[in-house]
Structure formats: C-alpha cells, structure tokens
Structure 1
Amino acid sequence: MNAGDALEPKTFTVTRADLVAYADASGDQNPIHQDEEVARSVGLPGVIAHGMFTLALVGRAVAEWTDGAEVVDLGAKFTSPVVVPAEGGADVVVAGTVKSVADGLATLALEVTCEGQKVLGMPKAVVRVAGA
C-alpha cells in the first residue's frame, strides 16, 4: 500500500431486507428505514438506509482492500440519504485512494456514492499497515 494507490471501487447493493435485518441487529427501528408512507410523511423521497449501515459498508470495503487490517479510525458525515426502492436495491459505491502512509498507518481518502451522488461527506479510514 503506497501513497497515491487507487483502490478498486466496491459496489454493495442495499435492499429493504437488509434494512430490516440491520434494524433488528442494531435496535434502530425508526420507521423511515422500513415504511414508505412514514418516510414520505417526514419529507424523505422514500425509505432510506440507516446512516450507520452505509458507514458499515465503507468498513467492509476497507476490510476487503486491506485484507482485514486493523482499522484505527473510520468516519464520515452523513450528507445525503441512500434511498432504497421496494423492489431491487440501491447500489452504494465505495471508492478511494491511499492518501498517505506514515508511522505504520495508511490514511485512505474515500468517496461514497449512490446513483452518482455523494452520500457521505469527508469519509476516511486509517488502517495499520501490515508489519508495522
């Protein structure tokens, strides 16, 4: 892993069934993540994925890119919702580059999009480089 390396984009399809499973596992049963009518009644374009579920997809991509290296820091701002249709799913794409490698740590600059729109602001991860 070297500064400037591009990381192969990872695409994750999020379905309504994923949202139900995440709600059950996390305890976040907010109906905006499962009920179209409730989501629209509060001004959303439809059922949306949990922000933390979206961030978890980033963690999954980082784990795949780094062969499960220790994640020292992972964060982002939730800027736009991932709208998940009733049929099929929404594709979340996680792309990135290695921003820097120093002192045994690699900082990854990331971009997280759905339908070409950024859904996380300033996403980044810091991982421990193997052998450090």
Structure 2
Amino acid sequence: MSQAVNVGDKLPEVVIGPFDAEALSRYAQISGDDNPLHLDDAIAAKIGLAAPPVHGMKLLAAFEPMLANWRDDLMLVGLSAKFIQPVLRGEVVKLSGRVLRASESEIFVRLFAHGAARAPGIIGEATLRPVDRTSPR
C-alpha cells in the first residue's frame, strides 16, 4: 500500500442526493425493484412516511465510488449493510466511514449513510484488500 491505513482513520465524507421522483423511477426500472413504496406518495403516507424512501440498494451502491476515491490502491472485496431507517426522497445523504481493523492484507471499514434523521439510514461494512499491481488484468 502506498500510505499506511490506521485503525480510527476517517474517510472523507461524501454527500449525495437529494434524489427526486424521476431518479427513483429510473432506478426502479433499471434495478427491477419497482416496489410502489419507493414511487408512490400515497403508499408511503399510509405507512407514516412523509415521502417515498430511496431504494436501500441505491444508497448502498454509493459506497463503492466513495471507497475507490478514498484509496485507489485498495479494492473492495466485500460490502454488506443493515438498513436501519428509511432515507426519504428529497433528503441529502451523507456517507461516512471509519477504519475498524487494518493490516497489510486487509482493511475493514464501518460505513454510515445519514439522511435527515439523527440515526443512520444504513450501517455498513466494507472489506478492502491491496490491489495487486503486478498481476496482469
């Protein structure tokens, strides 16, 4: 690795969104997740939400470029998450992370996605390994 990664290192915060109805509709078409909860204000209101929630997988996918921009000498080999609470259409989302474990062979990062609510919408985990620049692609 070019520069040491240490336990406690914070990743630069990334802001994404807000996502509008058109963005959620496009994502629904591309992903195949056309659950009306993500697209219909009336359905979201029926379960007590002020707006439809952004697709959780759309938010989870935003961590990959965040991690790649942080360290291009590391490759993402594992990504998982728990969806804690909805992030709603129209909210700005702040992505952040902190290194929990670090060795020469593997880095483990805790990830967070916060919408407007105090608690995170997503708590995730990423495992990264050094890029092998010596092997042919």
The normalised TM-score by structure 1 is: 0.84
Query: Highest Rg: 1 or 2?
Result: 2
Pairwise mapping of residues 1-132 of structure 1 onto structure 2 (< 5 A)? 1-3=4-6, 4-16=8-20, 17-67=22-72, 69-84=74-89, 89-115=90-116, 116-121=118-123, 123-131=124-132
Deviation at 1:98, TM superposition (A): 1.8
Check conservation: 1:2, 1:100, Cα contact below 8 A: no
Over 3 Å counting, the alpha-carbon distance change for 1:14 and 1:67 in structure 2 is farther
Report which of the two has the higher share of strand.
Answer: 1
**Which consecutive residues of structure 2, in runs of 5 or more, have no partner in the other structure?**
none
Deviation at 1:103, TM superposition (A): 4.6
Check conservation: 2:95, 2:111, Cα contact below 8 A: yes
CA RMSD of aligned residues (A): 2.0
SS at match of 2:5: coil
SS at match of 2:33: coil
**Which consecutive residues of structure 1, in runs of 5 or more, have no partner in the other structure?**
none
The normalised TM-score by structure 2 is: 0.81
The alignment covers a number of residue pairs equal to 127
